[in-house]
Structure 1
Amino acid sequence: MSMASASWCPPEWLELRESADAAARAPELLEPLRDHLPHAPRPGRPLVVRDLGCGTGSMGRWLSGRLPGPQHWILHDRDTALLAHAAQATPGAAADGAPVTVETRNADITRLRAADLFGTHVVTASALLDLLDADEVDRLAAACVTAGCPALLTLSVVGRVELDPAEELDADLAAAFDAHQRRLTHGRRLLGPDAVTTATEAFHSYGATVYTHPSPWRLDAEHAALTAEWLRGWVTAACEQRPELEPAARDYLSRRLQECEAGRLRAAVHHTDLLALPGDAPGAPR
Structure 2
Amino acid sequence: MTSISTATAGWLALRAPADDAARSPELAHELARMLTAASAPVVLHDLGAGTGSMTRWLAPRLPGPQRWVLRDGDADIVEHLDLGAVTDAGGRPIEADVVVEDLAELPIDAFHDASAVTASALLDVITRAEAAHIVAACVAAGTPALFSLTVTGAVRLRPAEAHGEVERALGAAFDDHQRRDVDGRRMLGPDAVAVTAGLFADAGWHVRRAATPWRLRRRDSALVAEWLDGWVDAAVEWRPELAEDAEAYRGRRQAQAAAGRLRVTVSHEDLLAWPG
- Verify same fold: TM over 0.5: yes
> Which of 255, 258, 268 is residue 258 of structure 1 equivalent to?
255
After superposition, the C-alpha distances for 1:218-239 in whole angstroms (9 at most, x for unaligned) are 0010100000000000000000
DSSP-derived class of the 1:153 partner: strand
What letter matches 2:13 in structure 1? E
Alpha-carbon distance, 1:33 to partner: 1.1
> Which of 207, 214, 217 is residue 217 of structure 1 equivalent to?
214
**How many residues are treated as equivalent by the alignment?**
273
Could you say which residue in structure 2 is the equivalent of 1:116? 110
- Where in structure 2 are the equivalents of 1:161-240 lying within 5 Å? 161-167=155-161, 168=164, 169-240=166-237
Cα contact 1:61–1:90 (8 A) shared by 2: no
Instruction: Confirm or deny that 1:143 pairs with 2:137.
Output: yes
Could you say which residue in structure 1 is the equivalent of 2:60? 65
Alpha-carbon distance, 1:81 to partner: 2.9
User: What is the TM-score of this pair, normalised by structure 1?
Assistant: 0.92
Q: Give the root-mean-square deviation of aligned CA atoms.
A: 1.4
After superposition, the C-alpha distances for 1:49-95 in whole angstroms (9 at most, x for unaligned) are 11110111111110011112110111111222321321x43533111
Cα distance between partner residues in 2 of 1:92 and 1:251: 44
Alpha-carbon distance, 1:3 to partner: 4.0
1:91/1:275 Cα in 2 relative to 1: closer, same or farther (>3 Å)?
farther
Cα distance between partner residues in 1 of 2:156 and 2:233: 18
Cα distance between partner residues in 2 of 1:137 and 1:157: 15
Cα distance between partner residues in 2 of 1:252 and 1:90: 43
Cα contact 2:35–2:62 (8 A) shared by 1: no
Instruction: Confirm or deny that 1:159 pairs with 2:153.
Output: yes
Could you say which residue in structure 1 is the equivalent of 2:25? 27
DSSP-derived class of the 2:113 partner: coil
What letter matches 1:234 in structure 2? W
Could you say which residue in structure 1 is the equivalent of 2:8? 10
Give unpaired runs (5+ residues) of structure 1.
280-286
What letter matches 1:76 in structure 2? R
- Where in structure 2 are the equivalents of 1:82-121 lying within 5 Å? 82-86=77-81, 88-121=82-115
Cα distance between partner residues in 2 of 1:164 and 1:64: 35
What letter matches 2:151 in structure 1? V
Alpha-carbon distance, 1:251 to partner: 1.2
Which of structure 1's runs of 4+ aligned residues deviate more than 4 A?
A: none
Could you say which residue in structure 2 is the equivalent of 1:128? 122
Mean alpha-carbon deviation: is it higher for 224-233 or for 159-168?
159-168
After superposition, the C-alpha distances for 1:126-165 in whole angstroms (9 at most, x for unaligned) are 0000001111111111110110111100100111000001
DSSP-derived class of the 1:119 partner: coil
Alpha-carbon distance, 1:112 to partner: 2.1
1:110/1:203 Cα in 2 relative to 1: closer, same or farther (>3 Å)?
farther
User: What is the TM-score of this pair, normalised by structure 2?
Assistant: 0.95
After superposition, the C-alpha distances for 1:96-130 in whole angstroms (9 at most, x for unaligned) are 11230111000012442331110111110100000
Mean alpha-carbon deviation: is it higher for 225-234 or for 100-109?
100-109
> Which of 51, 58, 61 is residue 56 of structure 1 equivalent to?
51
